[in-house]
Structure 1
């Protein structure tokens, strides 16, 4: 048998992306039990010495960890693969949340890759950027649809070969019948989209009570779970200076924030000279890396999409997706 289905009893013991030895199987678990409810995990038998790097975490779990164990043969696996929703249905739900027509005219959004031979959508992987590491993760998870916030196809491709990483991504999707969808700027303008409230690609927020710029830095780091940000203090101001207005834009905020009067600009990245211009005009600037300023939204959207699809599809967050820039 190639697969084993396990019903997990002790959700708190599970660690994301860890491997466990059980009944002579090396089993990869991909997510914790959602909100304490037992869940069914399908795990492929594999050889840890050849398929997985030694740096991964291995544990041995007793049989009592599981409430049910059943082995799935070819027929059962065929039945499992036939479950799920039609791609058109999933797309209709995505469009209802944010129509591709809302995207900027220069953007490339919507369904970017559609397999010629359709298959039901049972597993969806959410990522901010589709990299080769995320693509490999998607294949290991038997993903049917990848939703990548940034469109992997932006500059037109003249060929689909193995020469460049972008070409390899699209070729891999087609070869494995994985659909690819990108919402990008269509998510930026909906009420519950990438920015936190209101409408438009940026937000101007008025705080209920003033806080220091140092407290603002701490709140940003905690909210998006990163250890460092870059801070440019306004001229003649210090870290104890109070702020009451914040203009924010996820991603690259130069074009959106330019000319906006606020005590603080919060965004992912900006051009050097625009930062200089801002601080000389009395505005603090916090930069927290392009994708780090966007990625947090996917956590809440995973729950939103699960509800939109009536809990009939497994929606996962990529564990491989991360900003390429690190402060060292």
Structure 2
């Protein structure tokens, strides 16, 4: 039987990022429910990926629930063994009374989610412009727009590419990013004017397909997809898959805490962000 805290957090996450918004290919929601009685400490660990290090950290910090943005289980499994490091992390969590919840594309689609956070960084301090989904909008049962995958930012006043690059670095707290400059633009490439930016957290190629913009801003794209974009006159900014997602975790922590308080969850709890979760690739 689910604990009251697990039920409360699952309900709060559903209000933050309704699971009905997730893409059909995705695997979201409560993916691991521990069969053990949870500890008296009500603690949520937020992370992008449930790695071995994050699992060990969660056990050491006596978390009762991990909210991992990326699904820990995607396809069907024929076995569940310690030989597979990712499965071993889940088994260790279960053995220590830690459940796992994953929101993924539900959190991408929803208004106020990860893609809107990326859009805020692109628009700068005055946030002058418009933001709309790249994909067809999804609607709640009562007819309200709930968002969709991707965002298209249209700046009120065009800025140069070097301004966009600076905004991305500052927002994501990165010293380096990868930029592909459109091959048919005149003058200095970093001085080219930008008005529209297509945004997708993580891997954006499929979301960008058929969408025209001055810039594609995402975590990663395949080589031939970058070549096609710059040949068609679109600049490309790549930052590393999880680098476009991890900075949202403090916002999620605030949202989750507010939702639990609003639901009047009476017992003490805390929400922490993993210190060991990080992008798996480094510049050396």
TM-score range, shorter chain: 0.7 to 0.9
Partner residue of 1:186 out of 90, 106, 109: 106
Tell me if structure 2 keeps the 8 A contact 1:103–1:184.
Answer: yes
Shift of 1:127: 0.4
Asked whether 1:214 is paired with 2:214, we answer no
Shift of 1:121: 6.3
* Counterparts of 2:15 and 2:158, CA distance in 1: 38
Partner residue of 1:148 out of 57, 60, 68: 68
* Counterparts of 1:175 and 1:158, CA distance in 2: 20
Tell me if structure 2 keeps the 8 A contact 1:160–1:170.
Answer: no
> Which structure 2 residues correspond to residues 140-179 of structure 1 after superposition, within 5 A?
140-179=60-99
Higher helix share: 2
* Counterparts of 1:252 and 1:91, CA distance in 2: 26
- Which structure has the greater CA radius of gyration? 1
Tell me if structure 2 keeps the 8 A contact 1:86–1:121.
Answer: no
Shift of 1:101: 2.1
> Which structure 2 residues correspond to residues 8-157 of structure 1 after superposition, within 5 A?
85-119=4-38, 122-157=42-77
Tell me if structure 1 keeps the 8 A contact 2:196–2:214.
Answer: yes
- In the alignment, which residue of structure 1 is the partner of 2:246? 295
- In the alignment, which residue of structure 1 is the partner of 2:226? 275
Look up the SS of the partner of 1:171 in the other structure.
helix
TM-score normalised per structure 1: 0.72
Look up the SS of the partner of 1:130 in the other structure.
coil
- In the alignment, which residue of structure 2 is the partner of 1:315? 271
Tell me if structure 2 keeps the 8 A contact 1:251–1:290.
Answer: yes
Shift of 1:112: 0.8
Shift of 1:160: 2.5
* Counterparts of 1:272 and 1:289, CA distance in 2: 14
* Counterparts of 1:255 and 1:148, CA distance in 2: 23
Shift of 1:232: 0.2
Choose 97-106 or 145-154, whichever is displaced more: 97-106
- In the alignment, which residue of structure 1 is the partner of 2:283? 327
Tell me if structure 1 keeps the 8 A contact 2:19–2:103.
Answer: yes
Shift of 1:115: 1.3
Look up the SS of the partner of 2:199 in the other structure.
strand
Shift of 1:256: 0.5
Tell me if structure 2 keeps the 8 A contact 1:109–1:182.
Answer: yes
Shift of 1:99: 2.0
**Gap regions ≥5 residues in structure 1:** 1-83
| CA-atom RMSD in angstroms | 1.6
TM-score normalised per structure 2: 0.82
Q: How many positions carry a matched residue from both structures? A: 245
> Which structure is higher in RCO with an 8 Å CA cutoff and minimum separation 6?
2
* Counterparts of 1:217 and 1:313, CA distance in 2: 39
* Counterparts of 1:261 and 1:282, CA distance in 2: 9
User: 1:264/1:152 Cα in 2 relative to 1: closer, same or farther (>3 Å)?
Assistant: same
